[in-house]
Structure 1
Amino acid sequence: MDKKVSIEEFYKETQNYVPESVRSGIGHFNVFKLDEFTGPKPKPMPFNRRDYFKISLVQGKSRVHYADKIVPVDKQVLVFSNPQIPYNWEQIDEQLTGYFCVFTETFFHQFGDLTQYPLFQPNGNPVFQLEDSKVEAVVSIFQRMLTEIDSEYVYKYDMLRNLVFELIHTGLKMQPASELQNSNSNASERISGLFMELLERQFPIESPMQRVRLKTASEFAHQLSVHVNHLNRALKETLQKNTSVLIAERLVQEAKILLRHTNWNVSEIANSLRFEETAHFSNFFKKYAGHSPVSFRKLEIV
């Protein structure tokens, strides 16, 4: 599993600079030709990344891996990547061509919520095979982006947002690409890796106001676009534990850290770990740690 890469790291790895709009966090957009990122000695490809959105037009033979799915690409594909689900792009042809744009959620602040669109939702299908007759129209949108971003027009970023929405609606009107069923052990390893990354991404808890977002097996399965039974089988195969046990063990681990290293009261810790009742948290903690939260806090560290 690749490590989490921010948009700032993407620029450091591929462009050797970081734009001021990325540093400031005010909202960022950029568009690139794909050709310079692929080939016999490609730069690190900007796929399978986090913390920003990406829309890619890729022409050439390749495969898109996401969650436990594999989508083969023979000609051209339009892919909508979101910060939640990691992607892996397997290059088959020696040279891929196309375009991609990257942007942060804050770039659309006050202009719409991107996550309302199925293309950017965890259980959505973000990969679309493009018919030959539709390629020219999509290429035209990216070329207009390239022209606009280099212009001096004072409202060019409004134009660029409109062009992003054109791509989104182009995808919404199309049928998603079908995926291959990957029956080998790599599928279980990949889904287990994605699960563990989503689980760990929620920690550490650094404020009583912070709460874990994903807590149940069904919530993780929904985020990964798989059935909860499928997720459970993959975790048992690779980690020898079911989903609920892995979640519980990580919650207990974080609870121990908070009890040892903060002065938060037990109800604050319970709330951060998404227990609606402090008594429920106390019973849960005692089941897995062998002590109540209060008695655990009083134990001397050996």
Structure 2
Amino acid sequence: MSLPAKIKEISDAQEFKQFYLEDSRYSYCEECSNVEYSHGNGFLEIVALEDLQKLHNKHIGHQARRKFYSIILLSAGEVTEVIGHQKYHFGPQSMYFIPENQLHAIESWSEDIKGILCMFDADYFLLCIKHQIKLNQFPFFQLDKAPYIKLSDRETQMMQHLFWKLSSEKCQKKTFNDDLLVRMFLNIILLEAERIYNSHTTAQPYNLSRKEQLVAQFQLLVNQHFLEKKQVNEYAGLLHVHPHYLNDVVRETTGFSASYFIQQQLIQEAKSHLLQTNATVSMIAAALNFEDDSYFGRFFKKLTGLTPLQYRKQHKHQ
């Protein structure tokens, strides 16, 4: 399939709504969110696929890059979508996953489609529970792993119930403690999906281009070494390529520079320490191997718009 060159960048749920649900009565539950989020505090939205299907035709073939994570549970119907640079056909009783910043395009949806689309960003997931697995460690969100699972009847029913609970708790929340329950159901869905994914894993290699393989290896190395290696040239050395080539390939494949992924890994780790521990800013700066507190503070504010203490005060609700 030949995709148009222009890529629609979709940063959050509001932009998703404007792009896919424009001029439509189909929308998210407007009564759901009694808890308002400040900038950077994350979002989670759930929408029925049957509502999206009524409007999807004008977006067929449009390539988009969502700057958040998506989980799709398909309970009926057929879809063909392009995730990254690979085309997939999904039928009933399947789940598929679109990681943050991944290219995505809808090729076709059947008229009898039913299911759930759940969207959330890294900041929202960060507040689920302490010391949890990181989003980029789930296999279905990794570039070199297949982004889908096939479900049995029992697994489909379980996932439908979990998504129902997630949506129900989201609609009923009135306090940040209620919101913690919503986050925990999201965490449960991901952990159950990972368990199913791992139980179905085969030894067959996942088909990637050479450039995609390089980007996957780079992202894995960043996950492993971001605390001690903060420069692109250090990863280029590990991968035996020139730093400019690595940066060009990463940007071509993901839309972002190689340094962006190093910075994002660092900033998510910093946010985790700020929200999930009582460590001082000095202690966090030292744990992340920054030279001094002021450099860490400048780095954090440049990427978030807030100082570390402002972020903690604004987003920590324990």
Match for residue 98 of structure 2 among 81, 88, 96: 81
Match for residue 182 of structure 2 among 138, 160, 167: 160
Structure 1 counterpart of 2:39: 24
Structure 1 counterpart of 2:18: 12
Q: Secondary structure of 1:150's partner? A: helix
Amino acid at match of 1:52: F
Whole-angstrom CA distance in 1 between matches of 2:162 and 2:73: 11
Contact map agreement 2:173 2:179 (CA 8 A) in 1: no
Whole-angstrom CA distance in 2 between matches of 1:246 and 1:30: 38
Structure 2 counterpart of 1:100: 117
Which has more radius of gyration? Answer: 1
Whole-angstrom CA distance in 2 between matches of 1:73 and 1:178: 21
Whole-angstrom CA distance in 2 between matches of 1:125 and 1:146: 27
**Deviations 1:82-129 (CA, angstroms, capped at 9, x unpaired):** 114323333241232100111111112353322222222222322112
Which blocks of at least 5 consecutive residues in structure 2 are unaligned? 216-229, 250-262, 264-318
> Normalising by the residue count of structure 1, what TM-score does the alignment of the two structures yield?
0.54
Change (3 A) 1:249 1:103: closer
Q: Secondary structure of 1:95's partner? A: coil
Runs of 4 or more, structure 1, over 4 Å off, are 15-23, 40-48, 176-179, 210-219, 243-246, 248-251
1:109 aligns with 2:107: no
Contact map agreement 1:34 1:100 (CA 8 A) in 2: yes
**Deviations 1:172-214 (CA, angstroms, capped at 9, x unpaired):** 22226999x99xxxx98xx89xx8xxxxxxxxxxxxxx96599
Change (3 A) 1:86 1:35: same
Structure 2 counterpart of 1:284: none
Structure 2 counterpart of 1:123: 144
Change (3 A) 1:12 1:70: closer
Change (3 A) 1:13 1:249: closer
Match for residue 56 of structure 1 among 60, 72, 78: 72
Contact map agreement 2:236 2:242 (CA 8 A) in 1: yes
1:37 aligns with 2:48: no
Number of residues of Structure 1 aligned to a counterpart in Structure 2: 211
Q: Secondary structure of 2:9's partner? A: coil
Whole-angstrom CA distance in 2 between matches of 1:47 and 1:134: 31
Amino acid at match of 1:91: S
Whole-angstrom CA distance in 1 between matches of 2:119 and 2:238: 30
Amino acid at match of 1:3: K
Change (3 A) 1:162 1:144: same
Whole-angstrom CA distance in 2 between matches of 1:30 and 1:48: 18
Contact map agreement 2:79 2:108 (CA 8 A) in 1: yes
Whole-angstrom CA distance in 1 between matches of 2:98 and 2:163: 16
Q: Secondary structure of 2:188's partner? A: helix
Change (3 A) 1:107 1:74: closer
Q: Secondary structure of 1:24's partner? A: coil
Q: Secondary structure of 1:90's partner? A: strand
Structure 2 counterpart of 1:267: none
> Normalising by the residue count of structure 2, what TM-score does the alignment of the two structures yield?
0.52
Structure 1 counterpart of 2:154: 133
Whole-angstrom CA distance in 1 between matches of 2:192 and 2:98: 15
Whole-angstrom CA distance in 2 between matches of 1:5 and 1:211: 28
**Deviations 1:46-68 (CA, angstroms, capped at 9, x unpaired):** 99532111111123112232234
Whole-angstrom CA distance in 2 between matches of 1:69 and 1:212: 27
Structure 1 counterpart of 2:245: 247
